[in-house]
Amino acid sequence: MTDLAAEDMVIRDTSDVTDFARNCFHGSAGDQVGVELEFLVFDRTSPDCHVPLARVAGALPPLPGGSRVTFEPGGQLELSGPAGPLPEAIARLAADVDAARAALREAGLVLAGVGLDPIRPARRQLRLPRYEAMAEFLGTPYGSLMMCSTASIQVNLDLGDRPAVRWERAHLLGPVLTAAFANSPLSGGRPCGWMSGRQAVWENLDRTRTAPVPATGDPAAAWAEYLLDARLMLVRENGDRCRTVRDGSTFRDWLAAPARPLTLADLAYHATTIFPPVRPRGWLEIRYLDAQRPADWPVCVAVTHALVMDDRAAETAIAAAEPYAGMWPGAARHGLAEPRLRKAAETCFRAALAALPRLGVSAGLIREVAAFADRHVTTGRPPAADLLDLVKGPPRRLSAWLTEEGQG
């Protein structure tokens, strides 16, 4: 993406921002995928309590698949698997998830595959300068919830030799895939009114940085305009210090009247504070998918990869999904209870199932995709529906689900 050697280059005008944006669409012409999984971590004996980040870190073993371990501000565990062909990327990350789960189990902890913490209030554990400034800018309650209580699956895809095509597909599929994998309907132990409460959180944050990038015939130009018109969140000063920008100014405003010369490094850092559902970084970051149970995340990755990367599957899926491409809030609120999205999702899953053998996916994973479709898509009951069922019964059913092996 960014030429690190040129990061001290002074930005002269918006044409330099356009050049940066175009560079974000230059990457591998291959078909690799990288996956970043976030999990909430619960204490098996005290699910209402927050688990100290150090306790989780201390329990983790060396990971056989080579995933990078990081933590989100609220202590969410993130495993970022090495990029590779779809079967290899899933296999390596699955080995790491299994190793992490086993080690945490021995420490009395469990990984919960859910997009929004269903019972605990937001509480930040990491106090890095970036997070301090981010928390101040985003405010409460939604900034705190996003930083501390949400978990997602991020699917990173090669741009291929037609980046604009994959960019467009990732957007057009967004509402249907959001609905099919909606898995965050609870907050504070009660229904929050959305099947994807995690997406509801994003809907309520600064929309200059969280709305989808507008569709145009030139994705790089659209991304440049998005970067320019997004409000500044923070400015780095004196090494690690960060200053929150409170006046509502955009990067375009900053560029028009800079207090100091702006560099490519300033722009690159600004881009890391921009969170649209799909973001270009020399690859495509698909960011709109709720975290799934440890047993189901490979289904989510395989389906998303197949529908964006396989041309035959994409042709069928896009024809079904495109009429509903603007239904982001409706998909998050209603999930597959919206009949048009359910019908489109059924078509998309059939297309993915036809493509997976061509992509070298194992027969076992293909069966898991088919089983997920039968359980959640055909019935119009995404994973969120199962969570809603838990709060209709005895009070401790939800706590038991969060801490039992039945999650996986």
Q: Which residues contact 4 (CB under 8 A, 6 or more apart)?
A: none
Answer for the pair 124, 159: CB distance below 8 angstroms, yes or no. Answer: no
Q: Strand, coil or helix: what is 177?
A: helix
Domain-wise residue ranges, the chain? 4-383
Answer for the pair 335, 196: CB distance below 8 angstroms, yes or no. Answer: yes
Question: Which structure tokens are listed for 158?
Answer: 């090669």
Number of H helices, E strands in the chain: 19, 11
Q: Which of 297, 328, 69, 34 is nearest to 155 (CA)?
A: 34
Whether the pTM exceeds 0.85: the reply is: yes
Q: Which residues contact 369 (CB under 8 A, 6 or more apart)?
A: 299, 302, 303, 349, 352, 353, 356
Residues of the chain with pLDDT under 50: 1-5, 405-406
Tell me the CATH number of domain 4-383, given options 3.30.590.20, 1.20.120.80, 3.40.630.10, 3.40.50.720: 3.30.590.20
Q: Name the DSSP letter for residue 376.
A: I
Answer for the pair 63, 94: CB distance below 8 angstroms, yes or no. Answer: no
pLDDT of the residue at 260? 80
pLDDT of the residue at 189? 93
pLDDT of the residue at 258? 80
